[in-house]
Chain A
Amino acid sequence: MSRILRPEIGYLLSEIAQSLDISNTLFEDAEKKYRAVGSWLGEGDSPLAKFTPEIYPQGSFLLGTVIKPLSDEDEYDIDLVFRLLILKDQISQKDLKNLVGDRLKASEVYKHMLDEEGKRCWTIKYAESAQFHMDILPAIPDELYSSILQKEGIPVNFASTSINITDKTLENYSSISNDWPRSNPKGFAAWFQSRMLIQYSELYKRVFGEAFKAEIEKVPNYRIKTPLQRCIQLLKRHRDINFMNDQDNKPASILITTLAANAYENEADIVDAMVNIIDRMPSFLVKRNGVAWVPNPIDPTENFADRWVDNPNRERNFGYWLQKVKSDFNRILTCYDSDSARKILTPIFGERVSNSAIAKLEVKSQSQAPFYNSVLQKTPPIVNITNPPKPWRA
Chain B
Amino acid sequence: MVGLSIIDKQFWELVQGYPALHLEYRDGKNFVTGNLIFSANYHFQQIDDDYLIEMVIPNNYPDSLPTVKDKTNRIVGGFHKYTDGTLCLGASLALRLNYSKQPSLLGFIEKCVIPYLYTYSYNCKYGSLPYGELAHGWEGILDYYKDLFKIDDNQIILRLVKSLAENQYKAHSRCPCGSRKKVRDCHGNLLKKLLSLQPKDDYLSDYQGMLIEANGKNYSRKK
Chain B residues lying within 8 Å of A268, measured Cβ to Cβ, are 48
Contact A388 B38 (CB under 8 A): no
Contact A383 B80 (CB under 8 A): no
The yes or no answer to A367 lying at the interface (CB within 8 A) is no
CB-CB under 8 A for A394 and B137, given A382-B40, A382-B41, A389-B94: yes
Q: How far is the CB of B111 from chain A (nearest CB, A)?
A: 8
For the complex of A and B, list the 5 residue pairs with the smallest distance between their C-beta atoms, beginning with the closest.
A389-B90, A388-B115, A391-B80, A389-B94, A392-B134
Contact A394 B136 (CB under 8 A): yes
Interface size on B, residues (CB 8 A): 44
B interface vs A, CB < 8 Å? 17-20, 37-42, 46, 48, 79-82, 88-91, 94-95, 98, 110, 112, 114-116, 118-119, 129, 131-137, 140-141, 144, 147, 222-223
Measured in the bound complex, the distance between the Cα atoms of B24 and A30 in whole Å is 48
Q: Which of A362-394 contact B (CB under 8 A)?
A: 373, 376-377, 379-385, 387-394
Interface residues on A, range: 20 to 34
Measured in the bound complex, the distance between the Cα atoms of B217 and A379 in whole Å is 48
Contact A391 B90 (CB under 8 A): yes
Measured in the bound complex, the distance between the Cα atoms of B134 and A318 in whole Å is 52
Q: How far is the CB of A394 from chain B (nearest CB, A)?
A: 6
Within 8 Å by CB of B39, from A373, A379, A388, lies A379
CB-CB under 8 A for A391 and B134, given A377-B19, A381-B17, A382-B41: yes
Within 8 Å by CB of A389, from B17, B18, B98, B135, lies B98
Closest to A389 in B: B90
Chain B residues lying within 8 Å of A393, measured Cβ to Cβ, are 80-82, 88, 136-137, 140
Closest to A272 in B: B48
Q: Among B40, B135, B137, find the residue whose CB has the most chain A CB atoms closer than 10 A.
A: B40
Measured in the bound complex, the distance between the Cα atoms of B114 and A377 in whole Å is 16
Can you identify 8 A-B contacts, CB atoms within 8 angstroms? A382-B41, A385-B41, A388-B42, A389-B98, A390-B132, A390-B134, A390-B144, A391-B88
Chain B residues lying within 8 Å of A373, measured Cβ to Cβ, are 19
Q: How far is the CB of A120 from chain B (nearest CB, A)?
A: 41
Chain A residues lying within 8 Å of B131, measured Cβ to Cβ, are 388, 390
- Chain A, residues 188-215, CB within 8 Å of chain B (1/0): the string is 0000000000000000000000000000
Contact B48 A389 (CB under 8 A): no
CB-CB under 8 A for A380 and B37, given A389-B98, A392-B88, A393-B88: yes
Q: How far is the CB of A248 from chain B (nearest CB, A)?
A: 42
Known A-B contacts: A390-B134, A391-B134. Give 8 more (CB < 8 A): A377-B19, A377-B20, A382-B41, A383-B40, A384-B41, A392-B133, A392-B140, A393-B82
Contact A389 B19 (CB under 8 A): no
Measured in the bound complex, the distance between the Cα atoms of B46 and A393 in whole Å is 26
Within 8 Å by CB of A394, from B115, B119, B222, lies B222
Chain A residues lying within 8 Å of B141, measured Cβ to Cβ, are 392
Measured in the bound complex, the distance between the Cα atoms of B80 and A377 in whole Å is 28
Contact A391 B82 (CB under 8 A): no
Chain A residues lying within 8 Å of B140, measured Cβ to Cβ, are 392-393
Within 8 Å by CB of A390, from B18, B94, B137, B222, lies B94
Contact B134 A385 (CB under 8 A): no
Closest to B80 in A: A391
Contact B110 A383 (CB under 8 A): yes
Chain A residues lying within 8 Å of B89, measured Cβ to Cβ, are 389, 391
Chain B residues lying within 8 Å of A382, measured Cβ to Cβ, are 39-41, 46
